[in-house]
Amino acid sequence: MMHSTMTFRRYLVLAAVTLTSAFGDTFLSRGMKLLGPVSLHHPAELIHAVFSPWVASGIVLLIGFFASYMASLSWADLTYVLPASSLGYVIMTLLARFWLREHVSSLRWLGIVCITAGVGFVTRGPSWTEPRKGPGAGAEEPVAVAEEEARL
Amino acid sequence: MILGHVTNTALATAAMIAAIVVTATAGDILTASAMRQVGDLDHIRAERGLPGAIGAVVSNGRFGLGVVCLALSFFSLLYAFSHRDLSLIGPAATSLTFVTNALAAKFFLHENVDRRRWMAAIFVCVGVALVAF
């Protein structure tokens, strides 16, 4: 039995998953580009990189991503959260184009259209599959959920 | 001789992509399963506060296993990047993981992956491949 567990606050958490992932990766990329190539023969340079403002901000954002991603998995299905939060790829491409001034090909724009369509498909449907409680419970459980939804 | 080398290279590339996809999918499924075991974090945080919610997640065995699998996936990705082009490994591994996650979620988490979710997974898979190329 599937039903929606989404509230306005939970959509905000999904937005946080999307934004922290996109901005975290972009900040890391920006920071590492500013620092230049890091040689594996000098691993201390990597430790130095962690304390640079862009990389440190990127790491903080990615910790925020992991926390909000875990929270979202506690009230929504994996097959709902993953496509719904994939808008991060769209934001990353837009940041690459308009902030980092990278070239974005027409194929990449087509990819953005596909991702947006996929997000549209999944977010219009239910977000949560009720866990199985054991043999025989499945027949009664959907009724309970339907009654609860009717009350809401 | 040349054909044999090409076949071996293709097999090695496929094995690297498979290693990334399998470990990433196992990591996602285990962490998602852990969060189902833990329960709604909003309720736990309301009852026990933020430290209680963090403790409930971190002390879950499946969560630990999931993090190990995600770390393995990350190192498999780094290994693949050192042998093959980013433009091949990145899109292939990321987009395939959307489809394998949908399959694994259906069979292991018993999620109801209906037509709408399959369409979403396939559209995002194709989109990510196009964006990453």
**B31-47 pLDDT tens trace:** 999 999 999 898 998 89
What is the C-alpha to C-alpha distance for residues B128 and B107, in angstroms, rounded to an integer? 24
Q: Which own/partner contact pairs does B41-49 have at CB distance under 8 Å and 24+ positions apart?
A: B41/A70, B41/A71, B41/A74, B41/A75, B42/A71, B42/A74, B42/A75
User: A53 CA to chain B: closest CA distance, Å?
Assistant: 24
User: B115 CA to chain A: closest CA distance, Å?
Assistant: 10
Q: Crossing angle of helices B2-38/B61-83, nearest 10°? A: 160
**Is A38 exposed, middle or buried (CB count within 10 Å of its CB: 0-12, 13-18, 19+)?**
middle
- Per the model's pLDDT, the better-predicted residue between B25 and A2 turns out to be B25
Q: Which amino acid is at B49?
A: G
What are residue A3's DSSP bridge partners? A128
Q: DSSP 3-state assignment of B76? A: helix
A96 and chain B in contact, CB less than 8 A = no
B76 and chain A in contact, CB less than 8 A = no
Task: Identify the DSSP state of A80.
Answer: H
* Closest residue of chain A to B63, computed from CA coordinates: A70
Average model confidence (pLDDT) across chain A: 79
A95 and chain B in contact, CB less than 8 A = no
Range name among A68-77, A79-88, B1-10 with the lowest pLDDT average? B1-10
Q: Crossing angle of helices A53-73/B41-58, nearest 10°? A: 120
Smallest Cβ distance to A121: which of B105, B116, B126?
Answer: B116
- How confident is the model at residue A141, as a pLDDT? 39
Cβ <8 Å between A86 and B28: no
Helix (H) / strand (E) element for B15: namely helix B2-38
- How confident is the model at residue B3, as a pLDDT? 63
Q: DSSP 3-state assignment of A118? A: helix
Residue A25, CA distances (Å) to A21, A30, A98, B17, B75 in order = 6, 9, 16, 22, 17
- How confident is the model at residue B63, as a pLDDT? 95
CA-atom Rg of chain A in angstroms: 20
Cβ <8 Å between B111 and A124: no
What is the C-alpha to C-alpha distance for residues A15 and B60, in angstroms, rounded to an integer? 26
A73 and chain B in contact, CB less than 8 A = yes
Residue A142 has pLDDT above 70, yes or no: no
Range name among A44-58, A59-73, B13-27 with the lowest pLDDT average? A44-58
> What's the number of domains chain B is made of?
1
B101 and chain A in contact, CB less than 8 A = yes
Strands A128-129 vs A2-3: parallel, antiparallel or unpaired:
antiparallel
pLDDT digits (tens, 9 = 90+) for A76-133: 999 899 888 888 888 888 888 888 788 888 988 999 999 988 888 888 888 888 776 6
Residue A146 has pLDDT above 60, yes or no: no
Smallest Cβ distance to B101: which of A82, A112, A116?
Answer: A82
CA B129 to chain centre: 15
pTM given for the model: 0.81
User: A52 CA to chain B: closest CA distance, Å?
Assistant: 22
Q: Which domain holds residue B36?
A: 2-132
pLDDT digits (tens, 9 = 90+) for B48-65: 998 999 999 999 999 999
User: A130 CA to chain B: closest CA distance, Å?
Assistant: 8
